[in-house]
Amino acid sequence: MSSIYQINLLKGFSDLLFGQTIAEAEKIFGKSEETQELNDDILETSCTVLHYWDSGFSLFFDNKQAKKFSSVEVDNEETLLFSRKIFQLKEKELIELMKSNGYPLSDSEQQEWGERRLSFDDAGLDCYFENGRLSSVNFGVIEEQNTYEFLPN
């Protein structure tokens, strides 16, 4: 499947919106090439991942939130962000594009394995550069830090 995919920060990926189901994802993108279950006992997380290897992305569905679409990892070189092919941008160009759209750089870090991570926390976006080239993008919904309420007696 050859398509141009769109990163819609804080909303979703192409026509799939955060919070939608696996069935809705399959209506949009078709059947995935691989499905994987990931569990992290330390972080107490669990998700179902639909891998679309040939299309260059993986969709993550939070098992603790009724398997709702929560994040995506993309390495498809044709993917658009703010109408620009994000994988053609250098680090400084990406930082400027994000800043001009209201999302300043939050953090950057050189990873042990050689990639450089740029994080834009307000957008829920992490970008990984290897040898000066963007290699992958991860983005998703931003979880509220204080989701509890105090109720009066």
Give the separation between CA 11 and CA 16, rounded to whole angstroms.
Answer: 8
pLDDT at 72 over 70: yes
Answer whether residue 86 is part of any domain. yes
Domain annotation covers residue 149: no
Q: What gap in Å lies between CA 23 and CA 122, rounded to an integer?
A: 29
Does the pTM surpass 0.85? The reply is yes
Q: Are 124 and 139 in contact (CB under 8 A)?
A: yes
Does the residue 1 lie in any domain? no
Q: What is the mean pLDDT of residues 95-118?
A: 93
- Using one digit for the tens of pLDDT, what is the confidence trace for 22-53? 999 999 999 999 999 888 777 677 889 999 99
CB atoms near residue 58 (< 10 Å): 21
Residue 131 inside a domain? The answer is yes
pLDDT at 137: 97
Share of the chain above pLDDT 70, in %: 91
Predicted local distance difference test score (pLDDT) of residue 144: 57
**Position 86 pLDDT exceeds 80:** yes
**pLDDT, greater one: 70 or 145:** 70
- DSSP alpha helices (H): ranges in the chain? 22-29, 91-100
pLDDT at residue 145 is higher than 50: no
Q: What residues make up the domain containing 122?
A: 6-140
Decide if 109 is inside a domain: yes
